[in-house]
Amino acid sequence: MYLYEKLVQEVSDFTVEIEKPANFDKFWDDTVSLAKEKLEFSLDKVNYPLKARVFKATIVGFGDTEIKGWYLLPEDSSKTYPVALVFHGYRGYASSPSVFASYLLNGIAVLAFDLRGQVGQSGDRGYESGHVPGWMNQGLDNPYECYYRRVLVDCLRMVDLAKSLPDLDSSRILVTGSSQGGGLALAVAALSDVALCIAGVPNMCYIEYGVLNSSSSLREVSEYLKLYPDKAPSYFDTLRYFDILNLADRIECPVLISVGMQDPVCLPKTVFAAYNRINTPKKILAYPFSGHDGGGSLFGKAAMEFTLAHFNL
């Protein structure tokens, strides 16, 4: 056996003893109920050089914040389509319709939104506590007020939007993304009724370890705690509500995950820790020579094959 094979083998069975907050289930029941309180949206058709039906989409998210994005459909209006609900990575945005052409070519509609406060056109406001530059460390004093609760309310309303649109098959909803988007896809799969989840190098897994060791967004938390170490217990208590370790056993749909064995952002140990808590049909693809690209086009091909097979396309 080669060393690169041993490295995968050594971490593949990694597990962590979980510590769920006492009111974990009530917190998520309250959050899901909040998400379902309203569904307000608009779709405006636009001209775009793509053989598809292209709409600018706006949905009203947490705190009546407008969340902006795209709704894309194949040209044939006589059919209903499965849909990919795509979540972008940290410091990203929903990009342009052409980025999602592979879905449209394979007969899959797309909903993709700019997550609140990040690089796209969706806003955010109103946190009571301070934070270092970035988004995910906002509101960590209180799980009901923190950034990722707001994002997940938005994301759950996106699922409800997908279920409400007449051109879409509500029984074939895929939630997908990479990095932050992969973590959100897993969380949404745990909190809603979707058909399929594909998570590339997911963040939000074994978060405490990530805060101490990751080179990217979770470093925001450690940078703030360097200044205010007395806040560490409350911050880590809040993060446990959003850790895929604690949400994984709620997932009921099939799951495909990728991990880059040289990833300094979403560390392999954290991804396997979450993956090994999932009890539904699942598959993980480990790429020994990949970093945060998580297999790049190789995983992209595998993910589309996985989608087509499950959606019978």
CA–CA separation, 241 vs 253, rounded Å?
21
For 131, residues 6+ apart whose C-beta sits below 8 A from its C-beta are 137, 138, 139, 140, 220, 224
| 236, two tokens | 């880590």
- 263: annotated active-site residue: yes
Helix/strand/coil for 199: strand
CB 89 within 8 A of CB 178: yes
Residue with tokens 């709620």: 250
Q: Where are the alpha helices (DSSP H) in the chain?
A: 3-12, 24-35, 101-105, 147-164, 180-191, 207-213, 219-227, 232-242, 244-247, 268-275, 296-310
- 179: annotated active-site residue: yes
- 131: annotated active-site residue: no
Query: Which is the catalytic residue, given 216, 292, 293, 310?
Result: 292
Query: Which is the catalytic residue, given 122, 170, 179, 192?
Result: 179
CA–CA separation, 242 vs 247, rounded Å?
7
For residue 71, list its beta bridge partners: 55, 111
Query: Which is the catalytic residue, given 114, 263, 293, 310?
Result: 263
Handedness of CA 40, 134, 30, 240 (dihedral sign): positive
For residue 285, list its beta bridge partners: 258
CA–CA separation, 304 vs 293, rounded Å?
16
Selection from 214, 209, 182, 187 nearest residue 198 by Cα: 182
In this structure, what are the phi and psi dihedrals at residue 282, rounded to the nearest 5 degrees? -150, 160
Residues annotated as catalytic are 179, 263, 292
